[in-house]
Amino acid sequence: MSGKQREYRGRIRSTQSLKKIFRAMELIAASRIGKARQRLGEAAPYTRAIQRAISSVTYHSNTDHPLTSERDDTNRVAVLVITADRGMAGAYSANVLREAERLRERLESEGKEVAQYAAGRRAVSYYKFRHRDLVATWDDGSDSPTFDRAIEIADTLHAAFLADADKGGVSEIHVVYTRFNSMVKQEPWVLRMLPIEVVEGVAETTDEVPPLYDFEPGAEEVLDALFPRYLRARIFTCLLQAAASELANRQRAMNTAVTNAEDIIRQYTRLANSARQSEITQEISEIVSGADALAAGS
């Protein structure tokens, strides 16, 4: 076997083993996405219940809670970016980061200073490479977020929101993540989490005026207890949506990779075959011409 053939065979073999890896990763993503969607579904009643309660409280009480009112003592705003830990998910992380950069430009044009928070190694390395300051980072577990992680993130943001202006307090909290609309559609999304847009919250429930609740122990205490939970639930939902989107993107990317690997294998198989054939042709013509020469000589 000539050098050329051996080279093609080698490439086919390595592409075949790559294809197996891609296929395996596609299957892993496919099996995990079912679980991620299930968790998203299981978390929904919790989030819905809290949201409903929040909108009822803010609708009926006049309490001026710090979490519903705008802060004007600082122009720092927090932006949390949620990306994947690993690549191999197509443009998933790049899309989120592009959206985050757009948001950053918009906020800076409004004269605000952006305090960057990043969840997911991809976001962390993106900002580290550009020498941007990161206030806090979380990596690990982007494809199966735990509620504990949501608590960590939510409580950090909560603390920043309540902190004094000179101690790194922020007046707004934005979250950039990928919304999971369906298996085939995920889009980068910017969510302003705090201060809560009460007007919007009420507009969502115009079909039924929330009942006049009796608050126990009092409206203010109920709000105090609700808000950390609200933040955690919202962050958890964002993390779960991002995880489901990441897995869907990975499954698609790996599917494309498998198809590409198959194309390459087919291409190299053809090249290897034609190399083999031309080698045979050459050998035959050598033998024939050798025989001819011998026949001519005798």
Partner 1 sequence: MAATITVFIVAPDQTLWSGEARSVSAPTVEGYIGLLPSHEPVLAVLNPGTVGVVSEDGKRDEVEITGGFLSFDQDAVTIVTDPRPGIPLP
Q: Which residue's CB is nearer to partner 1, number 145 or number 169? A: 145
Name the residue nearer to partner 1 (CB basis): 172 or 246: 246
**Range in contact with partner 1 (rule: CB under 8 A) among 34-42, 69-77, 278-286, 288-296:** 34-42
Question: Of 222 and 254, which has the nearer Cβ to partner 1?
Answer: 222
Cα–Cα distance for residue pair 262/66, rounded to 1 Å: 58
Instruction: Candidates 12-20, 92-100, 217-225, 281-289: pick the segment binding partner 1 (CB under 8 A).
Output: 217-225
Closest to 99 (Cα-Cα) out of 193, 189, 194, 191: 189
Give the nearest distance from C-beta 205 to partner 1 in angstroms.
12
**Residue 236 makes contact with partner 1 by CB under 8 A:** yes
Is 232 a binding residue for partner 1 by CB under 8 A? The answer is: yes
Q: Count the site residues for partner 1 by CB under 8 A.
A: 32
Q: How far is CA 7 from the centre of its chain?
A: 39
Q: State the Cα–Cα distance between residues 65 and 67, nearest whole angstrom.
A: 5
Question: Are 129 and 202 a contacting pair, CB within 8 Å?
Answer: no
The residue from 23, 28, 147, 198 that contacts partner 1 (CB under 8 A) is 147
Rule CB under 8 A: is residue 280 a binding residue for partner 1? Answer: no
Instruction: Please say which residue, 8 or 180, places its beta carbon nearer to partner 1.
Output: 180
The window from 9-17, 62-70, 191-199, 208-216 that contacts partner 1 (CB under 8 A) reads: 208-216
| Contact yes or no for 210/59 (Cβ under 8 A) | yes
Radius of gyration (C-alpha) of the chain in whole angstroms: 29
Q: Which of 17, 31, 146, 259 binds partner 1 (CB under 8 A)?
A: 146
Using CB under 8 A, which of 35, 86, 192, 276 touches partner 1?
Answer: 35
214 binds partner 1 (CB under 8 A): yes
Tokens of residue 103, six digits: 């948001």
| Residue 50 is a binding residue for partner 1 (CB under 8 A) | yes
> Is residue 225 at the binding interface for partner 1, with CB under 8 A as the rule?
yes
Confirm or reject binding of residue 56 to partner 1 (CB under 8 A): yes
How far out from the chain centre does Cα 232 lie? 18
Distant-in-sequence contacts of 96-102, Cβ < 8 A, 24+ apart: 96/123, 96/176, 96/177, 96/178, 96/188, 96/242, 97/122, 97/123, 97/126, 98/188, 99/176, 99/188, 99/189, 99/190, 100/176
- Smallest distance, Å, CB 154 to partner 1? 11
**CB-based contact 171:74 (threshold 8 Å):** yes
The angle formed by the CA atoms of residues 176, 181 and 184, to the nearest 5 degrees, is 110
Task: State the minimum distance, in angstroms, from the CB of residue 216 to partner 1.
Answer: 4
Pick from 24, 42, 204, 284 the residue near partner 1 by CB under 8 A: 42
For residue 187, state whether it binds partner 1 (rule: CB under 8 A). Answer: no
Cα pseudo-dihedral 144, 148, 154, 158, rounded to 10: -170
Binding residues for partner 1 (CB under 8 A): 35, 39, 42-43, 45-46, 49-50, 52-53, 56-57, 146-148, 150, 210-217, 221-222, 225-226, 229, 232-233, 236
